Structure 1
Amino acid sequence: MPDDNRAILTCAVGFEDLVRGDLMEQYAVRSRQVGPGEVSAEQLPPVLNTMIDTVALPWDGTPGQLQALVAPLVDDVTGFRVQVTEPAAREELVDSVAAATGWVNRPGDWQVNLDPGRGRVELGPLAWAARFGRMRRLPATTPPTVAAGLLRLAKLKPGMKLLDPCGGVASIPIIDAIERPEGHGWSIDADNAAIADASANVAERGLTARIDVRRGDATALDLADLFIDRVVSDLPFGKKVGTNQENRMLYPAILKEVERVLAVDGRAVLLTDDKRFFEQAVQRARGLKVVAQRIVRYNNVTPTAYVLRRSRKPRR
């Protein structure tokens, strides 16, 4: 398929290879990375997984081409938006598109976003929130596509038990439940506002039977030893939540509990931008070791996702 017919899929920077791997392994769709957080696929897969944020199509800027380009993927375009900074040029393009397509310019309620500067048409109905629904958020909430990438690194299997000890609004167990046919998740947080939003997010998706939302302390979990198969969490960085000084005490205490509740063959994926304190805490913990890591970029931060396994058998 020539490049001008390829779909452009976006994801969190750092997870492009995972998106490409899934496209090939699950759907035999060839792809290549074309920029940070951007993958060009020879065709759209039948299902867009939770790592994929937005979908766009290459566009040469010709208004008359738009309907034929968009129609196979978006049934009913009721509104469009034009991303052009200069007012006169934007108005001219708006008028040309409206005349060629019959679409209405609705910048606040669009199905098609035209970006002639980048030569793209973004399809609103295929964006993450349109596919899976919007979630209640807090200032430090993990972006859904980042949570999806962390879960992909965790290699969860059906029936496994998942824990997020710094659960926030329950993004991680919710996205796991979307992707995984069976299994149970726990979202634990000490903040009342987070618990309220997490409970609402879970209930609105009908996932109360699969996800337990609890108020609790990540450093003193009310869970049995060796009970959890996978721990996946976005730890406080010390920026929007907590401080670097607090992390000196917090990280060792969290790691101690992760080691206690993690199954013998368990795996943990922990995200943090406070890398120095985290790595020091892992070295001192001794019962866990880093087996892989990758840098992720979003919202002007570049945290590292650390994959941990046991470094020794747990004491009975």
Structure 2
Amino acid sequence: MPDATRVLLSCAVGFEDLVRGDLMEQYAVRSRQVGPGQVSAEQLPPVLNTMIDTVALPWDGNPADLRALVTPLVPDVLGFRVQAGDPVLREELVKTVVAATGWVNRPGDWQVNLDPERELVEIGPLAWAARFGRMRRLPATTPPAVAAGLVRLAKLKPGMTLLDPCGGVATIPIVDAIERPDGHAWSIDSDNAAVTDATANVADRDLTDRIDVRRGDATALELPDLSVDRVISDLPFGKKVGSNQENRVLYPAILREVERVLSVDGRVVLLTDDKRFFEQAVQRARGLKVVTQRVVRYNNVTPTAYVLRRSRKPRR
């Protein structure tokens, strides 16, 4: 029987402990991990941070309970859908829910998603895009909840500068701006389409004073030495973007530039699925070292997030 006093929060697989830690530290909300990318919390926190992707409530499948369950979070349900593989079950449940609640079945425009197989009610208005707005995307765009986990690993503080040298559509700097009260960021990418979408995403959120979007080369950054406090980037994996062969040259070149622009006590978080070439590049770079790493899973890929610090003082 589902525990109706709890809420189920989803995040990227690999960041569950960070979500749980923030819930306790910021709001004294106790929680437990109940599955990959699934955190069960004793209550809904006052604020849902950017690592949380979706919010759902346990449900025993009884349509008569839905109004009392959902109304505290969604007072006026304009539409619902039923997520069920069996079309007969889906149609029967739609009819009983309409009769019990008066809600309208709107599969393409829903606020409540009923999942009888997992015994869950997903709350649409609390999903990431509903809370923070949709962004223009490209095929290899970093999911916002994944970007949020990378930002969390970077331990940014107010006033710090941030660089994403493979910025794509500026997801990482935008997520940082949502969470952090002040600071400046650069989102740099060599692809014209990415720069166009990044510029639009930043402008849509009135963040043009906070985030500087540029077309540029991650291996030849137009930034001064020691000028960046944090570097966070989702590197080309060599699958949807680039190739493994290209990464043999690209990764060492990016690491050289990251070492050059990074402040003396800077911190770097880089995500890649091309782990062998990346680890070889770090070993050869010598100026940076991996201090921790964690495997992340999303969209059928399992990249590793590497956290790096300087291994030696920068040369003057």
Same fold judged by TM-score > 0.5? yes
State the secondary structure of the residue aligned to 2:201.
helix
Aligned partner letter, 1:263: S
1:5-16 paired onto structure 2 within 5 Å: 5-16=5-16
Post-superposition CA distance 1:143-175 (Å, at most 9, x none) = 000000000000000000000000000000000
Aligned residue type for 1:56: A
The C-alpha deviation readout for 1:75-101, integer Å capped at 9, x for no partner, is: 210100001122221111000000000
Matched residues, number: 315
Q: Unaligned 5+ residue runs, structure 1?
A: none
Q: Report the counterpart of residue 290 of structure 2 in structure 1.
A: 290
Question: Deviations along 1:264-285, whole A, 9 cap, x unmatched?
Answer: 0000000000000000000000
Alignment of 1:1-316 (within 5 A): 3-316=3-316
Secondary structure of 1:9 counterpart: strand
Share of identical aligned residues, percent?
84
SS class of match (1:4): coil
Q: What code does the residue aligned with 1:222 have?
A: E
2 CA distance for matches of 1:139 and 1:221? Answer: 25
Task: Please give the alpha-carbon distance, in whole angstroms, between the structure 1 residues aligned to 2:12 and 2:208.
Answer: 28
CA distance in 2, matches of 1:75, 1:295: 39
1:3 CA displacement:
2.9
Return the alpha-carbon distance in structure 2 between the equivalents of residues 265 and 52 of structure 1.
Answer: 29
Q: Which runs of 4+ in 1 moved over 3 A?
A: none
1:4 positional shift: 2.7
Q: Provide the secondary structure at the position in 2 that maps to 1:217.
A: coil
Alignment partners' CA distance in 2, 1:106 and 1:187 = 38
CA distance in 2, matches of 1:141, 1:121: 28
Root-mean-square deviation (Å): 0.7
User: TM-score of the superposition, structure 1-length normalised?
Assistant: 0.99
Q: Counterpart amino acid of 2:239?
A: K
The TM-score, its normalising length taken from structure 2, stands at: 0.99
Give the letter for the 2:124 counterpart: G
